[in-house]
Structure 1
Amino acid sequence: MTGVIALYDQAVAAGRIADDPAQRAVLPALDRALAAVGRTPPAAGEGWLGRLFGGGNAREGQAAVPGSGGLYLWGGVGRGKSMLMDLAMAAATTTARRRVHFHAFMQEVQAGLNEARRAGAQDAVRPVAEHIAAEVRLLCFDEMQITDIADAMIVGRLFQILFDHGVVLITTSNRAPDELYKNGLNRDLFLPFIDLIKTRMEIAELASPRDHRQDRQAGSQVWFTPADAAARAAMDAIWARLTHGAPPRPKTLSVQGRDLVLPAFHEGVARASFWDLCGQPRGPADYLAIAAAVRVLMIDSIPRLSAANFNEARRFVTLGDALYEARVRLIASAADLPDRLYLEGEGAFEFERTASRLAEMQAADWGS
């Protein structure tokens, strides 16, 4: 097996990444997590949502398997956590592996729970968790964060069942385990999940002083500040160039039985205001649908963010995650530069990651 350490050495030698002592310090923990994979045979079958009630439990009667639950890797924005997770996925020898953004995964889980409830399951979490366990031996979550009370109430039991079935988890987060769901509603009910993480997973901090995202070379201007008449004119010119002067037409996306309208769309290029996208009650499913439908998204008039528009700011963070994961090209006008949009108040810490990603997304090769 080619381990994470060997792949890291190869990437450094090829000049694809810069050698970072802090990253090197956590490589053995990633290799230890991979070594725990495969202690039980994977179950063959189709996708877990598709066969949720199509047949018997593929692992019924098998005993829970003790052992390493995996790795919880945390640290500041831009330190290389996602890159190291990619190396772990490349080094894993099992084909029963999956990497998924935490938001997208929880959307799938919620869909599975709804199916289980419709089928009359008294404990909806168990069949969903068991079918995940029947499909994967290694499950990698990028950017784990808990901001929703519904997710907080589900995730503890879900992880417990996955651990009991021998699934190895690798997850990245900007927060230490004890800081998860900080100040959240009924957080005392969430504390047993934190204890579970600390008991079943190795905890490693990626303590690099360097934000590697900020090192990338910016391309042609795609972020215009302030959001004034000059910014509007620049955005109009880019829209005309990308759409070859075609008249804008709205595009309607169907999301879980609801209509989501992008005001202007042409051949994969969409344009909307911040308030069109984040000023209405929307969730991860909406933003995942947008990211899947467009290759370029132009957003007008992103305001300064603070406690006064906290809900809108949270939605913008979720939108940013979806666009980043899908490598959608973002062009925007805003009140200020990304790292100066949200300077203080509740949510400012979480926005540091978004600001770092927005800076990275301005690189010339982003989306290519």
Structure 2
Amino acid sequence: QERKLIQLIVKRVIDGVNKMSVNVAKYPVGLDSRVSDVMELLDLQDYRSRMLGICGIGGVGKTTLAKAIYNKLSSSFEARCFLFGIKETSKKFNGLVSLQKQLILEVLNDKHTTIASVDEGINVIKKRFHCKSALIILDDVDDNGQIKALAGARDWFHPKSRILITTRDMHVLNLQKLTKDDIFQLEELNDEQSLQLFSYHAFGRSKPIAKYIKLSENIVQSTGGLPLTLEVVGSLFFDKNSLEEWEDVLKTLRKNQPKDVHQSLRISYDNLDLTEKEMFLDIACFFIGRGKENAIYMWKDCNFFPIIGIKVLLHKSLVKIAGREDEFEMHDQIRDMGRQIVLQDRSPGLRTRLWNNDDIFDVLQHQT
């Protein structure tokens, strides 16, 4: 009898742990140090509810990092809730209401409260969430209204609660009046980590096979340290067993960005307005490594609003500005995404921008 009781208790404990955890990346390269950095910012010893943002470009691993933190910290809270893909869910009919219902169910274990509108959901969260310490992850937020509906103010929550937001758009976090100490800017993997992650997906081991080392290093350099790109590209080489096959795949990659990578990165571009898209494509095609001054003059002549536009591109992590002359910088994969958008017009003569010398010469010579 006692043995059966012990087995039952163990089973319930294991079931509880499994229910709290979410699936993280198969190969969590570089995750541990990032988890430690974010946990330091969350400061669980501080008896004040805190809101923290994880910001970075698409494919850099924001959701993966949030999952790892969730798994590590879930047991430290009385309740927990991970709301995945808020941007996409909120677009659906009653999407925000359904997210509020999920939040109330998982934090309060309340299946009976009915919510007919976002405002009703806000009232329930404001009145009842202060009674329990909760870990809440708001994943892939792209609009301030989403945060207002789910975690509008810190005083809605128990002093030990922590709210973690992942987003591509720094502006969303700024609207919450988060300070620099409340925002973790997630950077790309370094060269060593990138090669390791690529190797896991291409070879099933942490280092490349000897005869593929040089090719692997060249491929990894082109990925710019984005985990999503390393995973997608590495998987393309997994069943390629000769140098000739590797060279063929590499030639294809140099012409076209993998579809999954392109679609992921393009989300931020698609959310720009028309003039911001034009400015982004101009930078991707012409102004990387050049000072912003001449570009601003050009955009003003086009009746754009370049100061605002540049700020939007910076907030969405699509460009950076650095150097003594405020030069534009852009991640290689984002640059390739932008140029691939322009290249959708097959004929060089129909494209909105030309940057390849051969294409320029061909158009000028044949006017096509």
Q: Calculate the TM-score normalised by the size of structure 2.
A: 0.37
The structure carrying a bigger strand percent of its residues is 1
Q: Which has the larger radius of gyration?
A: 2
The structure carrying a bigger helix percent of its residues is 2
